[in-house]
Structure 1
Amino acid sequence: MPPRSTTHAVGIDLGTTYSCLSILTPHGQPQTLPNTEGELSTPSVVFFEGDDAIVGTEALRNSVTCPERVVMHAKRHMGDPQKNWVIDGRVYTPVDVSAFIVRKLLDGAEQQLGVPIKRAVITVPAQFSEIQRQCTVDAGKLAGLEQVDVINEPVAAALCHVLSDGMWFAEIANDQTVLVFDLGGGTFDLSLVKYNQNEVRVQASGGDLHLGGLDWNKALETFVCDQFSRETGQDPRLDRESMQSLSIEVEQVKRALSVRDKASLMVQHAGRRKTYAVDRERFETLTKKHVTATENITKGMLKANRLGWQNVDAVLVTGGASRMPMVKSMLDRISGTTLNTMLSPDQSISHGAAYYAGMLMSGQSLETSSLNREARAKLARVTQQSVNARGLGILVRDMETGNRVGHYLIPANTPLPAAYRQRFGTVVPNQKRVSLHIVESGTGEPDQPVELGTCVVDELPANLPIGTPIEVTIRYDAQARVHVEAKELGSGKSARTTIVRRENVAAQSVSEVTAPEEGWASLEEAPQVANATSKTVPQKPIAPAPAAKSKSVFV
């Protein structure tokens, strides 16, 4: 048994439908560890029975007989303060449920490793907001981890490819560009990744947080329920047990249709039982809009970055739902290239997370690291750079329309770390304070910002005239943490804050945000923009935006 001080490189794929945990062996090779039941993939399902929270296959089995005690797909609700489950008078949030799943994975790993795990990398969708990312960190810590790092799922897949089987290809060319197509059970992620022997750089990301294999299931469920209802006059959707039983049948049929042309499922409801045959053609017709959505998102990301398929050297396909033939056929058709399906749809994400964990601990001493000298040296040579998936800025009021909108200083898909600077002016005489509402863009309409927190410059000097400059700097560090500084330039009075998001700091409707008039400031000049490799913000602007005299800071 290794000494208790040994630190392992641990990566966790916390999925909507299934989760798994991987480590790096001493030689730096990824290995998926089974849970306590010996399964490599654990259903992301929790069954609450008295004081016990049962996670995995046993919970999934109980979902048919006790659906009111079972929680599934919690990841789709991460960061939503309105979503919870009340069971036996106890309230469980998505963070709570996710923590039970992480704990289940850790229990299995610790049993095999013989040492406690206190540090891990957990994967998140590239489109996750900062609030959702913080909730993921909170879930890991609630499960007993002391340090939690996160990595975007498609980036983890790219690292798995590069470090497992992509390096030999990188040796014959300066750079390779891969499109990572990650269609999981609950989310769809895209990333355009450029890599060479020592660097993995994300150029752009895209996707849909609410598009995944579950949506294919839902289409088939709806079709079968409609058919059953027409034939019997009874609707299975009115009974939770009937629907949970059907959902398991539908999942099995979806998987079967990936390898066969026809499968059958049974609907049981109101004392009636009927069996329906479903062929692949019918299934693909029912779900065509979903595969079309992934096609449009993929084409849109390439177009937005002024790239064509001739600029993509390979398409990496991963995620459990990517097994469907209709998905592969679509990618074959639009890309015109052979798809790389060598990555395990179920394990590549956790393998990539384990690689990233190894990169983070590559500087650790040999006495405490589980990695040998050669593995540590290999991982130490590799760097990865991500981009932010959402725009980051401040909430302003458009003086022409009166609408409150997000003014984004850091556009989406900016390489990290980065820092942006912009000046504003006070709008009333003798203004005493300026409060900035830090916001990021949502995934729907671009003008629906999500508030993250505030930065307040208080006790400004007396008798400041209208238009006194207030300089605002927003900075992402290498870990994608947000730092904000606001400074009154005349006196040097400033305020700094690091936005630490908790689950109760949730997506607020802009209409809910109110504040006094004296907190406003007008937009004075264009932002100064630069990638930041240190805490200082370069003075030369990069691609400055035109001044927007019609907007003012809303606080």
Structure 2
Amino acid sequence: TAERTATKSAGEIAGLNVIEIISEPTAAALYYGCAKEQGEKTILVYDLGGGTFDVTVMRIGAGKIEVICSDGNHELGGKNWDDAVMQYLAGEFCSETGFDGDFDEYAQQDLRLKAEKAKQQLSSREEVPVMLDAAALHARISISRTTFDEITQTLLNESIEKTDAAIAVAESKGYKVDEILLVGGSTRMPQVTKALVEKYGIEPKILEPDEAVAKGAAIYALGAYELKVEEWKEKVESGEVDMNDEAVKEEVEKYQEEAAISTVAIPGLRGQKMSEVVTVATTKSYALKVLVEGTEKCCNMIIKNVKMENGSVSVTKQFGTADDNQETAELVVYESDFDSEYYDVDEDFTLGTCSLELPGNLPAGAPIQVTFTLNNEGILKVTGRDMTTNKEIHATMQATAGTTMSKEDVAAAKAKSKNIAVE
């Protein structure tokens, strides 16, 4: 959620009209599904980029793309492979030259650039030489693809473990992977294809690793824009909106003109609206702190990898007050990857808190109804309702406090970016 919110804020600050945020694997699958007519199949998108790893299982075909489940590690990417090569080269350099000091800033940067280049060259060569210089010492070090695979095996294994987990979830829902799609520049490493073939017996398809996500996002943006144009046109013609409101006028102006091209021409969409084509799933679990037999627990309201029909999911559960004469009920919300009904409280997963005022004369166990509603942009709306008085509290949560910018901060940064724009 924090990453999606930060991405949206960055786009707005740059002066873009950010309609929605779409995940990279979904965008890649959309491009794959729209490029040509597809039969019904279940695909696994293995997305290994420079800094993150995502794996998503989807069902595509007949103008439909449904996200079944996803997993990943946002701390795992090509940079980790670079680090492993850097450590190897540094160790070999020290062994050959007798150097036992620290690499200075220049040498570190030179080492990083040469490590990344060696990694890239090993995708097409069995061995590459690397010339290193540090502290007036020089060495020519060779690194083979076999050595490269050995020193990065644990990193590759991490991605396979995440892939296993995603496949297990998909199979529990009755799906079997038919195809594997490679996305992200780091999937060019031969070890990736080799490991996937050995593990799953499926030869992966490489789909324009550097461009598939951007092309899929462009298709999605076109479809989302068409929906917005239609939506605002209907609102204006029906008189539903106040055209004297500056905020409304600003939104209407964004969607006055129809797009120069139409999604009708895209084969895989079959003339359908984007909202009818893509069905996403939740990427996180959202829980409420409750008391279970006197012990504080997190009760998952929304579970990770649940289908979001029409772009949202809503869950309502009823709880009771803990004590007699409670004056408030604290609704503490947590965001995590846990998929069990209950788990131990960990404040590191706290998303936000809101407080529901109570009349103060209720007995313990007085009913309180809580509703979580999550949309496809990762925005969670929490509603707490005292069933005795029908009093409600509403809260909107986007990310852990302090990790994202407020609307005011975004507006200020956007204004500043205009002021410093090159003329």
With the shorter chain as reference, the TM-score category is 0.7 to 0.9
Q: Which of 190, 211, 215 is 1:347 aligned to?
A: 211
Q: Which of 33, 45, 52 is 1:162 aligned to?
A: 33
Residue 386 of structure 1: SS of its match in structure 2? strand
Q: Counterpart of 1:426?
A: 321
1:285-328 Cα distance to aligned partner (Å, 9 max, x none): 11111112222221222123336999222111111110011110
Shift of 1:394: 1.6
Q: Counterpart of 2:402?
A: 504
Q: Counterpart of 2:418?
A: none
Residues 346, 309 of structure 1: alpha-carbon distance in 2 compared, 3 angstrom cutoff: farther
Shift of 1:505: 4.6
- Aligned-partner Cα distance in 1 for 2:178–2:339: 31
Residue 311 of structure 1: SS of its match in structure 2? coil
Residue 484 of structure 1: SS of its match in structure 2? strand
Q: Which ranges in structure 1 are unaligned for 5 or more consecutive residues?
A: 1-129, 507-555
Q: Which of 296, 301, 312 is 1:409 aligned to?
A: 301
Q: Counterpart of 1:35?
A: none
Shift of 1:397: 5.5
In the alignment, is residue 370 of structure 1 matched against residue 263 of structure 2? Answer: no
- Aligned-partner Cα distance in 2 for 1:286–1:482: 42
Shift of 1:442: 5.1
Considering only aligned residues, what root-mean-square deviation do their CA atoms show, in Å? 2.7
Residues 161, 386 of structure 1: alpha-carbon distance in 2 compared, 3 angstrom cutoff: same
Q: Counterpart of 1:395?
A: 289
- Aligned-partner Cα distance in 2 for 1:399–1:388: 29
- Aligned-partner Cα distance in 2 for 1:359–1:496: 31
State TM-score, norm by structure 2: 0.80
* Structure with more relative contact order (C-alpha pairs < 8 Å, separation 6 or more): 2
Residues 367, 142 of structure 1: alpha-carbon distance in 2 compared, 3 angstrom cutoff: closer
Q: Counterpart of 2:137?
A: 272
- Aligned-partner Cα distance in 1 for 2:350–2:175: 39
In the alignment, is residue 182 of structure 1 matched against residue 47 of structure 2? Answer: yes
- Aligned-partner Cα distance in 2 for 1:200–1:137: 23
Residues 500, 191 of structure 1: alpha-carbon distance in 2 compared, 3 angstrom cutoff: closer
Q: Counterpart of 1:306?
A: 171
Q: Counterpart of 2:13?
A: 142
Higher helix share: 2
- Aligned-partner Cα distance in 1 for 2:127–2:176: 38
Residues 202, 372 of structure 1: alpha-carbon distance in 2 compared, 3 angstrom cutoff: closer
1:442/1:450 contact within 8 Å kept: no
Residues 205, 332 of structure 1: alpha-carbon distance in 2 compared, 3 angstrom cutoff: same
Residue 361 of structure 2: SS of its match in structure 1? coil
1:164-191 Cα distance to aligned partner (Å, 9 max, x none): 13x2x32xxxx21111111111111111
* AA at the equivalent of 1:378: G
How many residues are treated as equivalent by the alignment? 367
- Aligned-partner Cα distance in 2 for 1:263–1:483: 54
- Aligned-partner Cα distance in 1 for 2:285–2:156: 27
Q: Counterpart of 1:517?
A: none
- Aligned-partner Cα distance in 1 for 2:17–2:158: 39
1:186/1:213 contact within 8 Å kept: yes
Shift of 1:464: 1.1
Residue 135 of structure 1: SS of its match in structure 2? helix
Residues 309, 391 of structure 1: alpha-carbon distance in 2 compared, 3 angstrom cutoff: closer
Residue 231 of structure 1: SS of its match in structure 2? helix
- Aligned-partner Cα distance in 2 for 1:444–1:241: 46
Residues 479, 209 of structure 1: alpha-carbon distance in 2 compared, 3 angstrom cutoff: closer
2:303/2:339 contact within 8 Å kept: no
In the alignment, is residue 452 of structure 1 matched against residue 351 of structure 2? Answer: yes
Q: Which ranges in structure 2 are unaligned for 5 or more consecutive residues?
A: 231-255, 405-423
* AA at the equivalent of 1:361: Y
Residue 368 of structure 2: SS of its match in structure 1? strand
- Aligned-partner Cα distance in 2 for 1:493–1:161: 49
Q: Counterpart of 1:195?
A: 60
State TM-score, norm by structure 1: 0.62
Residues 307, 178 of structure 1: alpha-carbon distance in 2 compared, 3 angstrom cutoff: farther
- Aligned-partner Cα distance in 2 for 1:136–1:387: 19
Q: Counterpart of 2:417?
A: none
Residues 375, 236 of structure 1: alpha-carbon distance in 2 compared, 3 angstrom cutoff: farther
Q: Counterpart of 2:220?
A: 356
% identity of equivalent residues? 28
Residues 358, 504 of structure 1: alpha-carbon distance in 2 compared, 3 angstrom cutoff: same
Q: Counterpart of 1:118?
A: none
1:258/1:325 contact within 8 Å kept: yes
